Structure 1
């Protein structure tokens, strides 16, 4: 059974800014119908009400064809955007530093302006040609918590989606312990295409995650192979900072990014990147030069 798919979108040449529910080849516009309770998709997440809204909205008529809308980032004003690094088999070996797998993950943050939505262009900056892709499963938090035990961690997830954690490789090496610059170029990454309500562990426990570039399979792994599980990540992060509704967690990428080829293969204008995961969907973006 296909799970509900919630989007933020614009339509009518930007005159409409709304959120909705995918229905076949169309979109049910939810904002006019539910604005009193949930004026934005962010508000639905804050209430952890995606499942309830899906039940209320599933039989409503379609308002727009998918061809008549533009996908936007699923959340208009996300909270913290937290990213886990080196979280799949062979990723640690890629660094060729002789070190064993770490006991704790590498972590960094992204800012909202560094991301864009489904079918939107990823921007290759003028400062570098080393734009790379990283396909990931992404969690959206729907329930606040601090020092969340692993046994309760999944109860704090409101939705799951996908991310292309676009990275400007030479800029992540500007200093010894800091990757922030290379992870935050304007609209260098993406998130979407939609939010799928999270209802059970099986949705993410063992699903295939792939990344294709121009139709070529580049990354291919399963979430059951993650070094640090979804439960563990939530418990770990919430130890040092509270997690709140609207916080976003990128959970790590498999081996196979362009930087690991010999020689490296960087993204160039016109390239199409598709990040796919079972039960979630496909996040698709193309590359263009920033002007």
Structure 2
């Protein structure tokens, strides 16, 4: 079992967006302590100050219980939010597009922050489609920027880890032949969270268990050691064509077992509870509701 380092959290309470540290007793609000330096966790990442934040919470009584806060997306305004597709064995079969072999390079696409919500919030199913699907993924947060980062140095550029339910409107990803943008960016169809776990060493990423459950039923389960494009490769590859900067978010791929995999497909519906869990990171939990137009 991989232990979870002290998590850092973005949250809303008492009418304001805040940030702090999760302890065994609750949430220590550090917003006022660092208000002259940081507006949010992106600025904490940019300053390399995650450990400073954690140290500041040491011995402090909690400001809130977890039940009294609303979890926010940890990095609200990343310069880049990049997703890696088709990164586990058998995942390609879910696309049912006639291709069988993994490509030489990863599939990639961009999502907008508005397409995600925080831990404990409901995913929103739009009236235009009933095909809301789930995808549980490990997500890395860049701490040190760079271009053409060598594989052997890739982990030096990761500041923190979190989880993603990379929710998808499945029929809309097939509206065009060579892109999935319109199926991946509906407001609040995915979630990121619940918090940021500081990245300390390779054991937190190289071979951890990743699992997605819907209403308690295991739908996806695999280990990151089986990824076709590992985390070092992803950092190296992405930084070849674009400069990575602190706070960039990279969602690193989902195992087989999405709702589209079933025959007939099993789409998410209001009342469902989806849990994405990874060893050493935590559990991201969300419900589902219909959009009110």
User: In the TM superposition, what are the counterparts of 1:127-166 in structure 2 within 5 Å?
Assistant: 127-166=128-167
* Aligned length in residues: 289
| Deviating more after overlay: 70-79 vs 94-103 | 94-103
User: How many angstroms does 1:65 deviate by?
Assistant: 1.2
CA–CA separation in structure 2 for the residues paired with 1:233 and 1:135? 17
- Tell me if 1:169 matches 2:170: yes
User: In the TM superposition, what are the counterparts of 1:5-16 in structure 2 within 5 Å?
Assistant: 5-12=7-14, 15-16=15-16
Counterpart in the other structure of 1:66? 66
Counterpart in the other structure of 2:45? 45
TM-score (norm 2): 0.96
Instruction: Tell me how large the CA RMSD over aligned residues is.
Output: 1.1
- Tell me if 1:18 matches 2:10: no
Q: 1:88-136 CA deviation, whole Å, 9 max, x = no partner?
A: 0111233452432211010000001100000011000010000000000
User: How many angstroms does 1:76 deviate by?
Assistant: 2.4
CA–CA separation in structure 2 for the residues paired with 1:67 and 1:99? 46
CA–CA separation in structure 2 for the residues paired with 1:277 and 1:108? 23
- Tell me if 1:180 matches 2:181: yes
| Deviating more after overlay: 51-60 vs 22-31 | 51-60
Contact 2:129 2:169 in 1 (8 A): yes
User: How many angstroms does 1:17 deviate by?
Assistant: 1.7
Counterpart in the other structure of 1:3? 5
Contact 1:73 1:117 in 2 (8 A): yes
TM-score (norm 1): 0.97
User: How many angstroms does 1:60 deviate by?
Assistant: 1.9
Partner of 2:275: helix, strand, or coil? strand
Kindly report structure 1 stretches of 4+ aligned residues shifted beyond 3 Å: 93-96
User: How many angstroms does 1:78 deviate by?
Assistant: 1.7
Contact 1:4 1:54 in 2 (8 A): yes
CA–CA separation in structure 2 for the residues paired with 1:48 and 1:222? 29
CA–CA separation in structure 2 for the residues paired with 1:203 and 1:2? 9
CA–CA separation in structure 2 for the residues paired with 1:203 and 1:8? 21
Contact 2:211 2:278 in 1 (8 A): yes
Contact 1:25 1:66 in 2 (8 A): no
CA–CA separation in structure 1 for the residues paired with 2:193 and 2:162? 6
Counterpart in the other structure of 2:108? 107
CA–CA separation in structure 2 for the residues paired with 1:174 and 1:237? 26
Counterpart in the other structure of 1:213? 214
Identify unmatched segments of 5+ residues in structure 2: none
Counterpart in the other structure of 1:88? 88
User: How many angstroms does 1:242 deviate by?
Assistant: 0.3
